[in-house]
Amino acid sequence: MAFYVQHGHGKSDKITNALDDTSASGVIFAARNEKVDKLDLYIATLRESYECDLLFDPQFYVSTLIPANDRYLPDEYPYYEAGRTANDFIGSRKIASYVRDTIDFQTKRSFDRILSPTVIANGFSDRWSQIALQLADSSIEYHSGLADAAPLLVSLVLSEAALDSRSDLDAFLDTLTSWDVHGYYITIVRDDATYSQSFDEDRLAHLLYMVYVLADRNEYEVVCGYSDFIGIPLRAAGATAFAGGWYQSLRQFHQKAFLTRKAGGQPPRLRYSSSPLLNSIMLGELESISDAGYLDQVLSDVDLDSVITDAASPESSAWTSRISERHHWQTLAKLDQDLGGQVRRDIAGLIDDVRQATGLYTALQAAGVPFERNTDGQHLVAWLAGLQAFARIAGL
């Protein structure tokens, strides 16, 4: 099992709960949400009590966003400086200094992997992608000269639109597969800031192919950040691990989460994560499903389902946002555990799961269960097409 908690603001006991119930096997810390002294103390606490993987996302890419919501980064992290532009990356000395400061911060701490600094690339041939490659190349060179350092994962933060062109992706992969590095930490910047499991079918096929080429064909370690349910297809394609957080903004990577904006907004509504539906639905929708007599068919078969099944109905249960968060991770971990580690078999099995989920949605809607736009199962159409397209591309 290789699900990692994506750390963020307001962690309280969320991470330790996930490690205690074994729904997570690691943590990816986020620099902007933790002061350095508290980070060090928490690392020591986890090391003392748990056998788990600890990684650190330096979030260097936030330095190029304006106006950045960078929280503790400016005052706490020596490698960070707000308001960097493309001109700040001209010259190998500047690149080398950014790399040195970012990697040195991590080597002084007991992380299991070192993550390189990077910037957000909107395409595989734009200026920022070239800067990302320069940072990666410099990181590999600097890391190779360090004694006893943890293995290096080259960070890539890619716009979803970068996945449009297969030919551009192939050229990019030619570069990535030429490097002598332990692996890659890949994050996709989603276009739609609304939380949903939707993903364009061609982009999904290309993302799966990217992970497959790196992880399966070239045997790099590939960790996929901010992946949520999409992490399951990525794991099926060969990814070593995937990650997601407690808030919806920590489950998927949306650029607006890293930009300064006015406070406010409505609190999130209670959700239930259903492994048979491959989706996170509203608790009210689960109530309607129960009324229609289909509750057993959509339950995830994880420990925290008992909160629902021990009550008279879903909405009368003691379901809370904290329980929902933990249940979400248990559901993802269960889906992950169902994978066998063989790409051909896992992709075929996942295609069957998608078809079964589609059939279940059809039955629920025929029974009069109402769903909202982002919970109605439409993502499954693109998932199925994307999985099938990937299988053809990869020759599975």
| pLDDT tens-digit readout, 144-195 | 999 999 999 999 999 999 999 999 999 999 999 999 999 999 999 999 888 9
Angle at 131 between CA 126 and CA 137, to 5 degrees: 125
CATH code of the domain occupying 3-258: 3.20.20
**Nearest to 346, CA basis, from 228, 211, 221, 189:** 211
Confidence (pTM): 0.96
Which two three-digit tokens encode residue 94? 């500047």
pLDDT for residue 61 is more than 70: yes
Task: Dump pLDDT digits (tens) for 298-336.
Answer: 999 999 999 999 999 999 999 999 999 999 999 999 999
pLDDT tens for 103-148 read 999 999 999 999 999 999 999 989 999 999 999 999 999 999 999 9
Q: How far apart are the first and last CA of the chain?
A: 24
Is the model more confident about 277 or about 254?
A: 277
Round to whole Å and give the CA distance between 356 and 269: 27
Q: Which two tokens stand for residue 132?
A: 């990302």
Residue pair 276/298 in contact by the 8 Å Cβ criterion: yes
DSSP state of 184: E
Distance CA 350, CA 354 (A): 6
Q: What angle do CA 270, 192, 27 make, to 5 degrees?
A: 60
Q: Domain coordinates of the chain in residue numbers? A: 3-258, 271-394
Residue 210: name the closest of 178, 182, 176, 242 by CA. Answer: 176
Q: Which helix (H) or strand (E) holds 15?
A: helix 14-20
Which ranges constitute the DSSP H helices of 278-378?
Answer: 283-291, 295-298, 306-309, 321-337, 343-366
Q: What is the pLDDT of residue 262?
A: 61
pLDDT digits (tens, 9 = 90+) for 324-371: 999 999 999 999 999 999 999 999 999 999 999 999 999 999 999 999
With contact defined as beta carbons under 8 Å apart, do 346 and 168 qualify? no
Q: Which CA distances in Å does 159 have to 69, 129, 391? A: 19, 10, 23
SS3 call for 253 = strand
212 DSSP assignment: I
Does residue 74 surpass a pLDDT of 60? yes
